[in-house]
Structure 1
């Protein structure tokens, strides 16, 4: 029988009234998660003394956010990103020892099924932008090379758009490739020096950023997914050192260890060169 003290909703006992309705057969993890959600949500509402007009505005905002979603755009993920939630969930689920390469957000523009390419291949299919040689090693925590590591890479074009955003004007796949390391653990490929770009800001999330006085820009970066047998998968970016948005990334994706040097090479085969080593963590490491 429900405790009479919480059988009816009151301001003071709001959390207890809601959580007491959870049935005994409910999944324990779901019970824990929903209990914490109700506790923190009610505490937030009480803390700011949310007005009915503000709550109605919040419901309308969430409704418009859902209506903005389709097969090519996920406005709720964008909302999660700009509130730092995506990065926090990623950080909690990818804790690694000092020295290991850190994770960051995947982003919405990864494409499966991109073919494997020989080392050194140029992934810029349109040939537009400042050319750049990307190179480095994949090693374990002790510095030993990791053979057979798959390196899935992708970046925006010189105008700040990914190929999937411009299927009519960019060759497919543009600025994408997959490379597999040999016994020395080394990788190398050519692409372009990435440029900073704004996240989609024509929807409710963009309007929210404007209301908060925040810009929508991401600093220039190259995406990497590095996988190797017996090691944790690394989902990360390398960021262009000196970019104007490194300390104000709209989605909070920058970590100091992921800022990479880009060295001008006017006498070389490319305009720029960026060297970055990926240090893998064994599976099961906490």
Structure 2
């Protein structure tokens, strides 16, 4: 029997071994995985040494994961798989806020904060205000909606990356929309930053000549009763790397202006120096 015939037999045997899988969806997923992996190995003529290197890489990826770092999500992100899965499952009604990737840093619970509170506890960036409303698809405000927010500090690091320099919960907040569905908080204008490169994913980026940078952004998860939650970002208009995001997550509808506002009264109300940066946008949810 030829090597090609033997490889096909092995594939069929592996697929047939799933015949007793009680969950039909699990059987479908594993069957597809086996067939595609085996086809990849045959197409590329995968060598034993390359297979061993891949196993070592995946092992190191798992060993890099901690309670505050998810290297496998980061790997999925830089391979475009996270964005592909989001896109496949991200069909939304016209006008609804587009979703994008969760990212690897939603690893800790955001502290509950009052509307208007400052999530930037360390300073170092340009102060700004972020405000908007949470709306249903028909424009009806959604009072009591929750808005989970997280972002890097002015130097491009999340709290879990530098626990010695940032207090827990810095750059994070869990807000509840008011009776008009409105939300607001103070923070700093986010800056572009590199994803972590001190692990296997960084080795992969260097080996492929890719940069690790993400454009400036703030993460959101908005949810309300009777509506599908949305996981999204807002990206700072004019930021570097909008056209080459390391995790392929930019959508034009999510790029927002952080305008320079010259309004002493509003600045005093928000507790910001005047003039200040102000981003205004709405989060529109579709009914579930």
TM-score of the pair, normalised by structure 1: 0.89
Change (3 A) 1:25 1:145: closer
Alignment of 1:29-40 (within 5 A): 29-40=25-36
Aligned runs of 1:85-124 on 2, under 5 Å? 85-110=81-106, 111-112=108-109, 114-117=111-114, 119-124=115-120
Structure 1 residues 178 and 11: CA distance shift in structure 2, 3 A: closer
4+ residue runs of structure 1 moved beyond 4 angstroms? none
Say if 1:246 and 1:280 are closer, same or farther in 2 by CA, change over 3 A.
same
Segments of structure 1 that go 5 or more residues without pairing to the other structure are: none
Q: 1:48 — aligned with what?
A: 44
Name the count of aligned residue pairs.
276
Stretches of structure 2 that go unaligned for 5 or more consecutive residues are: none
Match of 1:18 in 2: 14
Question: SS at 1:11's partner residue?
Answer: helix
Q: CA separation of 1:280/1:25 partners in 2, compared to 1, >3 Å: closer, same or farther?
A: closer
- Work out whether 1:160 is the aligned partner of 2:156: yes
Which structure 2 residues correspond to residues 188-267 of structure 1 after superposition, within 5 A?
A: 188-265=184-261
Q: Distance in 1 between matches of 2:67 and 2:168?
A: 19
Query: CA 1:22–1:171 in 2, change beyond 3 Å: closer, same or farther?
Result: closer
Tell me the TM-score normalized by structure 2: 0.89
Q: In structure 2, which of residues 264, 267, 277 is the aligned counterpart of residue 272 of structure 1?
A: 277
Matches within 5 A, 1:51-62: 51-62=47-58
Farther-moved stretch of structure 1 (211-220 vs 71-80): 71-80
Partner of 1:84: 80
**Distance of aligned partners of 1:25 and 1:222 in 2 relative to their CA distance in 1, 3 Å threshold:** closer
**CA drift at 1:199:** 0.8
Query: Is contact 2:18–2:31 with CA below 8 Å preserved after alignment?
Result: no
